Structure 1
Amino acid sequence: MYESKRFLASLLFSLLLVAMLQTPAWSQTEAERKKLEKEKKETLQKIKEAQQILSETSTRKKSSLGQLNAINRQIEARESLIQSINDELSLLNSQIREITGVIEALEEDLVRLKEEYAYMVYATSKTSNSYDRLMFIFSASTFNQMFMRIKYMQQYSEARKNQVEQIQKVKETLTNQRSTLEGKQMEQRVLLDQQVMANKDLLALKAKQRSMVRDLNEQEAELRRELAQRQKDVEELDQLIASLIRKEIERSNKNKTADRVALNSSNEAVSVSFEQSKNRLNWPVNSGFISQKFGRNPHPVMKNIMVPNDGVDIQTVKNAEVRAVFDGVVKAITPIPEPGDLKAVIMQHGEYFTVYSRLKEVNVKTGQKLKASEAVGMVYTDGNGVSMLQFQIWRNSQKLNPEAWLQNK
């Protein structure tokens, strides 16, 4: 009797384990896996975008910083992909261990159930005919004992029936868990194959990165000239933008000296709305990545050289459409001091200004009102096949980090 009770407790524990796989904790693990899968899908899209951008710059035999930026982006995305795969594998391995433990417990329980059932069948066979059962009942020495024997026979018959049902239930549960395990193991094999391929691609990209850095180091003199020209262009553009914004501040203050735009009720509402859109602004291009961040950045090749940036450089695809990031008014369209017939568009959003620079085509006019995502122009592609937009955000005369305002991508 003690062994039977202990086995019953074991069986209940096994069934409890099965039930646990349907609990919120298990569901939370599945939700986490779906989140990782979503992140992996987004990372694969980034890899695809970077690959397209890299293919456009790779049509030139000569190595360029644009190519290096695209390769760096590919490496960053591949490393993110590998981390997502590793996280998925970790969760999946945990689920496989849990399911395996349940299967082992159920298999043990099934053996015990069958053994008990076999014993019950054997015991019943000893009193299988009606004569033996009647002899067992009527050989009781008292009426109370006879009643207890009848009740025992009924309970024993019911126990056999329950035992059969329990065996069937455990078999069905075991079959379901084995099927679930096979599915998880298949997912595991797929992820392991993805992991191997991602690591292989990453090693190839890093080898290409090292080769390109060597090529660019051999072009140091040319890179220094390009850097000096860029710094000169940045300073001139900075002065031009600052001058235009200062004039707008003076105009709004009726030519009085001030350090901010004088807002009326309409402009103030736009300004507040822009402020509330921090971290949620649309990107000015549909695809691409930030190749150079706001502020002072180390040069990607030359050591101990810092490159200033008043905004962010967004490397994108050829002929990419540039769009307004927020509702506003076009305040200026101006040529920029770079080779080629390039332009910059400045839009005002209350006391905020956005700058879209390095455009080869402009689709708007000064004074025109635009809604968010409406076209401003088309990005310029240089002789190295690099299509790059320079994007800035100002609050009055203060330069802001655009990356803190754009939505995560």
Structure 2
Amino acid sequence: YKSDKLEKIRSDIKQFKKNLKKTEAKEKSLLTKLHETEENISLTEKMISHLNRELKQKEREIQSTSRSIKKLENNLSKLKSDFAKRLVNIYKKGEYNDWELILTSRSLNQAIYRYKYLRIISNIDKNTAKEIRFNITTIDNKKHKMIAELEDKEKIINEKKIYQNSLSKQKNLRKRQINKARRDKNNLLAQIKEKEKAAAKLLKLIANLEKEREIRRKELTRQRALSGVRADNPFLLNQGKLLWPVRGKIVSKFGTQRNPVLKTITENSGIDIKAEKGTPVKAILDGVVTTITYIRGFGNTIIIDHGSGFYTVYTHVENVHIYEKQYVLTGTVIANVGESGTLSGSILHFEIWKNKMKLNPEDWLIKRT
């Protein structure tokens, strides 16, 4: 089954596999292999997510076509019944010769009236026959369309099964790799460096989003009007009152962080919230989803544009429930807490940006009691 979005993801998967093949002869660290597996998982989950969307759309189309066929068949049945009654009536009473009926009129006015009446009856009969033929043709076309839609649905289901089987194998491989990687302290140190690179990559992403902000602003304004959000800058107005993205404990705060075990000093551009694997991750405010991607060091990453230059970033997530360019409401479950891109277990790394400046999320989220 083909659609523009599916073709784009298929192309991304094909390119990823091509890149893997180019480097398969090279010596790779366990961490590199782990990230390749996670990126493969991310692409596969994205494909399954979009196949689910296409499947739902196809099911809606099938239901609509089915309702249309039923309505047309009921209309056809009534037309045929009415036309049959008319023919029976003509047969029982006998059909007058049109000229005979006109010529036996008692007056000129009656002759004119009968002539007009016969014309009307004739037109009704012709139109009814024409409508019957049209309904038959339309029903036939609709049935052919539904057959094609059912075939498309079957193709989507079969492709989805292939990717689901592949995903299961990839997740088992990742589990083995991550358990092995955690036993080596060097991998933990290497991941800190990867997070620094990930932060730099994220800054580039935000900078690029800033260039296209005006295009998204119009769509966000339109969606907010439809949803009844009236404030011009709700993010700023809700400072200190914004919803927490997940229920959990902050294990790493914003700013300079010292790790006594690894003896490292790092800059945290957000906060890290420890939570159980699978815990729902929510959008802290309404906005447009700009980015769903995999960043080495951050894993699966979601960026939401809340307007007026404010962005929120959610990383290390799994089971992404939304899609790019989608408008989401405050509290929408966008993903689940996962272990993507980290050796520290299930965790959510969360950031708030204003234009190209990082902000301390604790200054913006509602105070916990």
Normalised by the length of structure 1, the TM-score is: 0.44
Which of 1 and 2 has greater Rg?
1
Normalised by the length of structure 2, the TM-score is: 0.48
